[in-house]
């Protein structure tokens, strides 16, 4: 797969060019997200010290970026929704946006959380919930919820009840907050053409360019 854009639209913000506020956000991301990158099998820094993925943009706009990073940290570390379920929700978001880096990172994190390779592969092709294979009963309820929400912009009572019986009010709230957060991240990644690590194949074909 090839990408239409080969490099980011943003400058790589290396430590030497950061102001005090940017440096604080930069260091906070390093302190919090290094373990996440390690878990997903990718570094969060480039060789020049700039940050990969959406984190470079967060440093560029440090006031909003610090809040976004804080929400991302809470979604990951203090989530009442089980990790395998919220990672499925994130994958649904990434597929809808055809977000290259989002899928690259969260495919690995979903697998680490216990989602099967078969299930991940079928989420990527938007397999309908009634046909998908390889998910646990709980994961299927989460996938049905996330898919229905994205397809219809609503969730039926039956779909809501099925997931609510498993994870409760707070679990559903955290799943919805988490998916909403990753819509924001996918927009950042797509708008700024955030590149994948060198040598990594793009998970999705890029849509046709527009005039």
pLDDT digits (tens, 9 = 90+) for 81-132: 999 999 999 999 999 999 999 999 999 999 999 999 999 999 999 999 999 9
Q: What is the pTM of this model?
A: 0.93
Looking at the chain, how many residues does it have? Answer: 211
86, 174 contact by CB (below 8 A): yes
> What 3-state class would DSSP assign to 30?
helix
**In which residue are the tokens 């708008």 written?**
191
pLDDT digits (tens, 9 = 90+) for 29-73: 998 877 666 666 778 999 999 999 999 999 999 999 999 999 999
Query: Which residues, listed in sequence order, are joined to residue 51 by a DSSP beta bridge?
Result: 45
Count of other CB atoms within 10 angstroms of residue 188: 23
**pLDDT for 38:** 65
Helices 62-77 and 20-40 cross at an angle (nearest 10°) of 30
Average pLDDT, the chain: 93
Indicate the pLDDT class of residue 2, thresholds 50, 70 and 90: very low
pLDDT digits (tens, 9 = 90+) for 151-189: 999 999 999 999 999 999 999 999 999 999 999 999 999
């Amino acid at each position: 797969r090839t990408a239409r854009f080969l490099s980011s639209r943003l400058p790589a913000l290396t430590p030497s060019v950061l102001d005090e506020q940017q440096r604080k956000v930069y260091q906070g991301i390093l302190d919090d997200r290094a373990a996440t990158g390690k878990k997903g099998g990718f570094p969060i820094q480039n060789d020049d010290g700039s940050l990969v993925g959406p984190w470079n943009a967060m440093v560029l706009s440090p006031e909003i970026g610090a809040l976004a990073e804080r929400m991302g940290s809470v979604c990951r570390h203090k989530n009442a929704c089980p990790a395998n379920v919220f990672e499925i929700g994130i994958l649904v978001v990434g597929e809808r946006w055809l977000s290259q880096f989002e899928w690259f990172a969260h495919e690995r994190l979903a697998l680490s959380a216990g989602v099967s390779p078969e299930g991940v592969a079928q989420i990527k092709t938007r397999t309908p919930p009634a046909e998908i294979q390889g998910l646990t009963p709980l994961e299927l309820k989460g996938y049905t919820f996330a898919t229905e929400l994205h397809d219809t912009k609503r969730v039926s009572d039956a779909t809501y009840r099925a997931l609510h019986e498993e994870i409760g009010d707070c679990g559903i709230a955290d799943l919805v907050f988490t998916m909403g957060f990753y819509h924001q991240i996918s927009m950042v990644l797509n708008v700024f053409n955030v590149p994948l690590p060198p040598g990594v194949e793009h998970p999705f074909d890029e849509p046709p360019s527009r005039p």
